[in-house]
Amino acid sequence: MWRWLLDRFVRQIIETGSLKVTYPDGSVGQYGDGTGTTVHVTLHETAIIPKLLRDPDLGVGEAYTDGTLTIENDDLRGFMTIALTNGKSRNGYWTQRILNAARKTFRWLQQNNVMGRSKDNVAHHYDLSGELYDLFLDADKQYSCGYFPRRGMSLDEAQEAKKHHIARKLLIEPGMRVLDIGCGWGGMGLTLARDYGAEVVGVTLSEEQIKVAKERARAEGLEDKVDFRLQDYREVEGTFDRIVSVGMFEHVGVPYYREYFSHIHDKLTEDGVALIHTIGRAEPPGTTSSWIAKYIFPGGYVPALSEMMARVEPEHLIATDIEVWRLHYAETLRQWEARFTANEDRARELYDERFCRMWRYYLIACEMSFRHTGQVVFQVQLTHRHDAVPLSRDYLYRDDVPAEQRHAAE
């Protein structure tokens, strides 16, 4: 019965491409219209079939991680391409439609990111071995989307370009006080202090990140310019000329958006500028992947722009610039995965084979989501005043701006 049910489910979903499934009893199912390269999936245990039917997203991720679902030549990108390009235009089997509706109804429970729970959620991901992140991130440990204005850029070049692009949007002048919400391992804060003369307060809830950030500040002699704190942004006191948040808004949770932007409003000086950089969805509000929520980012959620702006507007903040990055994160994730795979033997020593399969699945699944679904990156610039930033965007693309600011800081 289970084999028949899964066959019907897959046949209803997969209309284009070519998918071949070998079932635990040795039988084979062919799906799609036969176009493109065939992706061959093998299911090794009957017990995983009801899990795939109950929640395909969670079931596939767990089965791949456990090795009870394998893909010929480990063609995870090919499999994800078929799954995502077919799934994005259909709601799928009736059980999947019910599951999606239930997720949306009760997503507030998953995103109940009160202060204590927020710290636990952050620790789940960011307090893994620091050496793990060294295996695939750039030298500055930027764990967010790089910026690729030119083809052929390396990961390190793209992350440097991202930081300076954000610095331009912040219009930082020497001596300005900057709040970095979700400072990570300190790269953005150190760049703003070293290259632009800012005085930075950086906050994170990750004990591993804060330890590294403080060590980096000491090593660069920037302790008098950068104050890294293990602190919830909601507990920060005072006002700031500039506020920047890169890759943190995804962890706020929809129930707390109004509170988040209320803090931005209250902590930003009257002529200040804030820049929020976050993964977003170029489609209506939805839900978080159940596999991602369980294994990678508990409490996380990728917002629709409509959800963000609905909470910005009541705080009387002005959106002075909204930029949408499309395939930049796909390229970032591709380079992360290539680096991770090249260093997989060391990752296996740090953890085990199952972890490596999980991490590779995470990186490739996210990459293909940016290539084939509505995943994008939003950069939202916010101010109190219409005239707080220039009236055109020319200032973002003048090659002399970063150099002038750096020289002024010196």
Task: Give catalytic residue positions.
Answer: 366
**Beta strand 177-181 with 199-204: parallel, antiparallel or unpaired?**
parallel
Distance (Å, rounded) from C-alpha 285 to C-alpha 292?
17
Q: Read off the tokens for 155.
A: 């990961």
Q: Read off the tokens for 397.
A: 């693309």
Residues 6+ apart with CB under 8 A from 385: 270, 271, 318
Distance (Å, rounded) from C-alpha 168 to C-alpha 188?
13
Distance (Å, rounded) from C-alpha 13 to C-alpha 407?
58
Q: Which residues pair with 276 in a beta bridge?
A: 245, 380
Measured CA distances, 227 to 206, 238, 246, 272 (Å): 15, 14, 17, 20
Give phi and psi for 85, each to the nearest 5.
-70, -30
Core vs surface per residue 291-306: b (16+ CB within 10 A) or e: bbbbbbbbbbbbbbbe
Q: DSSP string covering 368-407, please?
A: HHHHHSSEEEEEEEEESSTTSS-SSSGGGS-THHHHHHHH
